[in-house]
Amino acid sequence: MQPRDLSDHSPYVPGRGDEEVARELGMDPEELITLSSNENPHGASPDAVAAIREHAEAIRVYPKSSHADLRARLAERWDVSDEGIWVSAGADGSIDYLSRAMLEPEDRVLVPDPGFAYYGMSARYHHGEVSTYTLDRAESFDQTAETVLDAYGGERMVYVTSPHNPSGSTMSLDQVRLLADATAEETLVVVDEAYGEFAEMPSAVSLLDERDDVAVLRTFSKAYGLAGLRVGYAIVPEEWADAYARVNTPFAASELACRAALAALDDDDHLDRSIESARWGRAYIRDHLDASTFESAGNFVLAAVGDAERVTEAAQAEGVIVRDCTSFGLPDCIRITTGTREETRTAIETINGVLERLELGVYA
Ligand code: PMP
């Protein structure tokens, strides 16, 4: 017996982790600087870790009140009703919930190219079809309503990533509004703000006051440093209240994830430090890397380095793990996550050394 035909489904290619690379190279993970998955170099909020310890015994029960409390707390944070918050296992979980809630078989979804792979993967799992709009590298991956509308053909869902992974470009609120105005009434514009905290621009959540065809994705994986817990959420028009109960995977955001997220939301110091450090890091990388880079509003910078695979491998051998962007369709680019100041400085020095040696043909 075999699963159904999955030949259309491409596996997700994650950034490489320190444990994995350390095992391969026979090194201690502590010796590695891991800047490949846009994780938080400052770790989780200490309050979140304390909440996990405090509630460790509670894993016996299903997450009921903690989940309700997190929805209520997020609703307060965004000034929406509790029904407008769909908590999930990571923002990836919310992408699935939106696919489930919106797509009939063969409905089409429009996604950015290059872009985050899971939009298309989720659409395909839910028997949808995927088309792409191109973000033009020659235009620094600039995001306007027009860029998307050039490729738009009445799709049921349109994904916008702002800040965009892997380029770091953004779409302004005005452009999102123009896009939502120009698309059909039955098209949902999903604005993925997984990196929203790092950007210096307002969230698209404010558009939900005026309209019911926009949803926003947010996560605790990046600025809050809780990637390993898997907790994120969608902010959706409250008119869809009923849909969440019908499409969510029961208890997908775990008891400890909900407790930690609640604690992290109250730790402004940790959040501020994470944001400040990402903003410093992206400016530092752009100023000091000996390669051409793209302006980024996220906690990472995309850089054109020639042969991404060779640069990634050579940097890794020297203890710096970055993301080879070949799987994004950018085989000459790497994406460097911002680390602590010390990590970022060391990583850039190492990568510059690698670039210099490659230029000299030392690795040939
Ligand atoms: N959206 C974008 C643009 C991302 O880069 C990521 C994570 N890499 C996600 C969503 C999903 O994040 P998570 O599931 O960890 O919340």
pLDDT in tens, 87-100: 999 999 999 999 99
- 55 vs 240 pLDDT, higher one: 55
Determine the distance separating the centroid of ligand 1 and the alpha carbon of 328, expressed in angstroms: 14
Q: What is the pLDDT, as a whole number, of residue 250?
A: 93
Residue 328's φ and ψ, nearest 5 degrees, are: -90, 0
Class of domain 18-44+268-360: alpha beta
**Could you give the percent of the chain with pLDDT greater than 70?**
100
pLDDT of residue 247 exceeding 90, the answer is yes
pLDDT (0 to 100) of residue 7? 83
Q: How confident is the model at residue 13 (pLDDT cuts 50, 70, 90)?
A: confident
pLDDT at residue 26, rounded to an integer? 82
Q: Would you say the CB of residue 15 lies under 6 angstroms from ligand 1?
A: no
pLDDT digits (tens, 9 = 90+) for 178-236: 999 999 999 999 999 999 999 999 999 999 999 999 999 999 999 999 999 999 999 99
- Per-residue pLDDT tens digits for 316-346: 999 999 999 999 999 999 999 999 999 999 9
User: For residue 77, how far is its CA from the centre of ligand 1 (angstroms)?
Assistant: 21
Indicate if the pLDDT at residue 364 is higher than 70: no
**What pLDDT, on a 0 to 100 scale, did the predictor assign at position 19?**
84
Token pair of 149, please?
């509308």
Q: Measure the CA–CA gap between 227 and 344, rounded to whole angstroms.
A: 20
Q: Can you point out the beta strands (E) in the chain?
A: 33-35, 85-88, 108-113, 129-134, 157-161, 188-192, 214-219, 232-235, 292-293, 300-304, 320-324, 333-337
**For residue 302, which of 141, 162, 172, 191 has the smallest C-alpha distance?**
141
Answer for the pair 164, 142: CB distance below 8 angstroms, yes or no: no
Cβ pair 353, 330 in contact under 8 A: no
Select from 74, 99, 159, 165 the residue to mutate for testing ligand 1; criterion: most ligand atoms less than 8 Å from CB: 165
Percent of the chain with pLDDT over 90: 88
Q: How far is the CA of 189 from the centre of ligand 1 (A)?
A: 17
Q: What is the mean pLDDT of residues 124-132?
A: 96
pTM for the whole structure: 0.96
The fold of 46-265 is Aspartate Aminotransferase; domain 2 (3.40.640)
92 lines ligand 1 (CB under 6 A): yes
**Residue 256 pLDDT:** 97
Quick check: 8 and 124 in contact, CB under 8 A?
A: yes
Burial class (CB in 10 A: 0-12, 13-18, 19+), 112: buried
pLDDT-wise least confident of 12-16, 82-86, 159-163? 12-16
The answer to whether the CB of 303 falls within 8 A of the CB of 352 is: no
**Is 165 close to ligand 1, i.e. is its CB under 6 Å away?**
yes
* Helix, strand, or coil (residue 321): strand
Q: Does the pLDDT of residue 361 top 80, yes or no? A: no
Q: Is 192 in the pocket of ligand 1 (CB under 6 A)?
A: yes
CA distance 212 to 358: 52
Mean predicted confidence (pLDDT) in 153-166: 98
Q: What does the domain layout of the chain look like in residue ranges?
A: 18-44+268-360, 46-265
Higher-scoring residue by pLDDT: 169, 358: 169
